[in-house]
Structure 1
Amino acid sequence: MASVTGASLDQKLAMAKRCSHEGVLAGAKAAVIATVATAIPTLASVKMLPWARSNIDLRAQAVIISTAAGLAYFVVADKTVLASARKNSFEAAARRGNN
């Protein structure tokens, strides 16, 4: 059983902050890309297709685009945080094995 010290808690807190910050940045980048990737075809279809012009109003366009952006943000942020935590866990286990 490893003892818990103030220094180890500070180190774990700093690592958690770094993991979450990486997740936020990756999620924001993915949300921007998803916004552009969904806005272009959505807006183009409303301009070119008569069915879309009559059935997809501004609110529906906003819902389509923002749903894709939100989904991309949360999926990528979650995957990034989990990958970073997994990597840090393996590194910590390797450090404990070397001590």
Structure 2
Amino acid sequence: MASLEQKLAIAKNCSHEGVVAGAKAAVLATIATAIPTVASARMVPWARAHLNHTAQALIVSTVAGAAYFIVADKAVLKAARRNSFNNDV
């Protein structure tokens, strides 16, 4: 039974690492995307005419969500791979 509890604790730790890494990536992606999106929507004539506030928010949130899921998935797989080599239970 201790082995099962240990495996559950390792899985929880792996998922937590993924959440933290994904959140950091989402924050960075939001900043990196929001600045050029808002700037282009104010300065570029085509963007000013076609990108309203909803479109700008959709662009930023799509990039942030994609960054979160990609980085979280990679972090979980990295932690699981590390734990599978270290803990052959």
TM-score bucket (shorter structure): over 0.9
Counterpart position of 1:55: 50
Identity of aligned residues (%): 66
- Pair 1:9 & 2:4 matched: yes
TM-score by length of 1: 0.88
Could you tell me how far apart the structure 2 residues matched to 1:57 and 1:43 are? 10
Could you tell me how far apart the structure 2 residues matched to 1:13 and 1:53 are? 51
Superposed CA offset, 1:66-87 (max 9, x none)? 0000000000000000000000
Point out which structure has higher relative CO (alpha carbons under 8 A, 6+ apart): 2
Could you tell me how far apart the structure 1 residues matched to 2:39 and 2:53 are? 13
Could you tell me how far apart the structure 2 residues matched to 1:48 and 1:67 are? 22
TM-score by length of 2: 0.97
What is the letter of the counterpart of residue 47 of structure 1? R
What is the letter of the counterpart of residue 85 of structure 2? F
Runs (4+) of structure 1 exceeding 4 A deviation are: none
Instruction: Name the larger-Rg structure.
Output: 1
Alpha-carbon distance, 1:92 to partner: 1.5
